[in-house]
Amino acid sequence: MQKKCRIGVLGSGKGSNMVAIADAAADPTCPYEVAVVLSDVPNAGILDHARARRVAAMHVPPGKFRTKLDEEAEQAYITTLREARVDYIALAGFMRILKGEFLRAFPHKVVNIHPSLLPSFPGLEAWKQALDYGVKFTGCTVHFVDQGIDTGPIIAQQTVPVLDEDTAATLHARIQEAERVLYPNALRRLCSGELEVVGRRCVAAQ
């Protein structure tokens, strides 16, 4: 039997995407397992969801900055993930920007999900940006994390129609439903060796 990929999950909130990733891993045919869940928030729901699924979960303090990890915290995250022997790191609502040393420690191993069809509407509240712009379709994107904001190679995308009666809340809810399907499926494909990065593109492995 092929050895399963080990996924480390980082999150700051309720953890709905982590739940989808972990529940998909319960299928014996899934090529990955969730090895550890880390949060910068001590009482984050994502930690409770992980522990309920008997997944190692811990709070790692983020340090003195509001939007990123300080150097000491960054090293603590790197060390903890290395000790857990993770193959990929999945960001699931992690509200800290990861740069520099962290990304160098895990090149092409850090994966994120964004609530739009990138490169459209990067940044915060992408569903509201899409609604305000008047597009008829938006969606979600699983992508590798690089030094930019939502600019890494795209792994997978799912479209979501924008309905005439949509509010920001209803559109966001439907995008989140799509995320919970797309994210585990993208990790399945990565961990089964179906995909590889060629330049800026993530393509079917030869």
| Amino acid (one-letter) located at 115 | P
* Structural domain count, the chain: 2
Q: Model-level pTM?
A: 0.95
66 and 85 share one domain: yes
State which residues form the domain around 19.
Answer: 1-107
Q: What token pair was written down for 158? A: 């799912």
99 and 147 share one domain: no
Catalytic site includes residue 114: yes
Residue 72 phi, psi (nearest 5): -65, -45
80 and 150 share one domain: no
Distance in angstroms (rounded) separating the CA atoms of residues 125 and 33:
30
| Tens-digit pLDDT profile for residues 37-78 | 999 999 999 999 999 999 999 999 999 999 999 999 999 999
Q: What is the pLDDT of residue 1?
A: 55
Distance in angstroms (rounded) separating the CA atoms of residues 179 and 140:
6
Distance in angstroms (rounded) separating the CA atoms of residues 173 and 171:
5
- Last residue of a domain, which of 80, 107, 134? 107
- Last residue of a domain, which of 74, 107, 140? 107
Please list the ranges in the chain whose pLDDT falls under 70: 1
79 and 117 share one domain: no
128 and 167 share one domain: yes
Q: What is the pLDDT of residue 168?
A: 98
Burial class (CB in 10 A: 0-12, 13-18, 19+), 46: buried
